[in-house]
């Protein structure tokens, strides 16, 4: 239905979100919505669009691939700041993000209340020094008329010790992001290298066995002589 009226393929949640966004923007700018949209807007297409904010980080593996590189950089900045070696030594690092980045980061920390992150919203991760100990706090700013929300990270409190934060982030940091993003069926030289080494070793072992057997046969054949063929007797004489 939606595909027929929009002229595009709408068979997944991200495309449903695009349709919802366009209709919502038209409504905000007082543009009359088409009649066909009345049966889908705001529901059920709004609910379908919401899934596109949670599915990309639905599992720990997806979190690792989606938001892991960003968490790695943040964790490295915190550790360098604590060690006094952060370069450049800034007090603030700002990242440009989309609503999908906001939702992915919040969902990874298990604090995402499923919704459409509003325009100009942001997530604040702050490193704090309290009584010579370092802590991390997580804020979500989703309004220009109220203070940012202080949120507790999963397996930690609202004021999370830095070491505990690093332990929380460590499983979510990919060792080789490009390699881990490959599908299981992807064939690369790196994946085939153990199999190639194993195959060469097996072939080499078989060749050694064949050569050994041939050498043993040649050595054994030298210890024997060939018997002459039996003599045939055409006469009728025979032993009595």
Please name each of the domains of the chain with its CATH number.
Answer: 1-52 (no CATH), 55-180 (3.40.50.1240)
Which pLDDT does position 240 carry in this prediction?
35
Q: Of 166, 159, 164, 170, whose CA–CA distance to 80 is shortest?
A: 166
Average pLDDT by stretches of 10, the chain with 240 residues = 88 92 93 93 93 92 93 96 93 93 95 92 95 95 91 91 95 86 65 68 75 67 52 45
The Cα 124–Cα 177 span in angstroms is: 24
- DSSP conformational letter for 59: S
Which pLDDT does position 237 carry in this prediction?
42
Backbone phi, then psi, for 92, in 5-degree steps? -145, 130
The Cα 212–Cα 210 span in angstroms is: 5
Can you point out the beta strands (E) in 59-148?
Answer: 122-130, 133-141
Strand partners, 137: 126
Which pLDDT does position 208 carry in this prediction?
72
Q: Which two tokens stand for residue 168?
A: 């929380």
Q: Of 28, 36, 31, 27, whose CA–CA distance to 4 is shortest?
A: 36
Place of tokens 């920390």: 109
Check: CB of residue 95 under 8 Å from CB of residue 201. Answer: no
Which residues, other chains included, contact 170 with Cβ-Cβ below 8 Å and sequence gap of 6+? 75
DSSP one-letter string for 175-223: SSHHHHTS-TT---HHHHHHHHHHHHHHHHHHHHHHHHHHHHHHHHHTT
Query: What is the per-residue burial (b if ≥16 Cβ within 10 Å, else e) of 60-81?
Result: eebbbbbbbebbbebbeebeeb
Neighbours of 205 (CB within 10 A): 10
Check: CB of residue 107 under 8 Å from CB of residue 62. Answer: no
Check: CB of residue 69 under 8 Å from CB of residue 177. Answer: yes
Which pLDDT does position 195 carry in this prediction?
67
pTM of the model: 0.71
């Amino acid at each position: 239905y939606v595909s027929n009226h929009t002229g595009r393929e709408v068979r997944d949640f991200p495309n449903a979100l695009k349709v919802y966004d366009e209709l919502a923007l038209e409504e905000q700018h007082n543009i009359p919505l088409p009649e066909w949209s009345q049966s889908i807007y705001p529901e059920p297409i709004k609910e379908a669009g919401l899934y596109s904010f949670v599915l990309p980080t639905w599992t720990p593996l997806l979190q690792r691939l989606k938001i892991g590189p960003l968490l790695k950089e943040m964790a490295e900045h915190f550790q360098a700041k604590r060690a006094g070696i952060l370069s450049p030594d800034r007090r603030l690092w700002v990242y440009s993000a989309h609503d999908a980045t906001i939702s992915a980061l919040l969902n990874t920390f298990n604090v995402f209340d499923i919704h459409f992150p509003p325009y100009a919203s942001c997530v604040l991760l702050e490193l704090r020094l309290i009584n010579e100990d370092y802590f991390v706090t997580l804020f979500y700013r989703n309004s220009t008329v109220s203070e940012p929300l202080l949120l507790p990270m999963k397996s930690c409190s609202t004021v999370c010790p830095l070491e505990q934060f690093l332990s929380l982030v460590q499983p979510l940091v990919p060792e080789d992001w490009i390699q881990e993003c490959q599908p299981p069926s992807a064939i690369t030289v790196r994946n085939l290298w153990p199999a190639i080494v194993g195959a060469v070793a097996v072939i080499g072992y078989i060749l050694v066995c064949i050569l050994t057997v041939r050498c043993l046969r040649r050595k054994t054949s030298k210890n024997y002589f060939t018997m002459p063929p039996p003599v045939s007797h055409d006469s009728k004489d025979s032993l009595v």
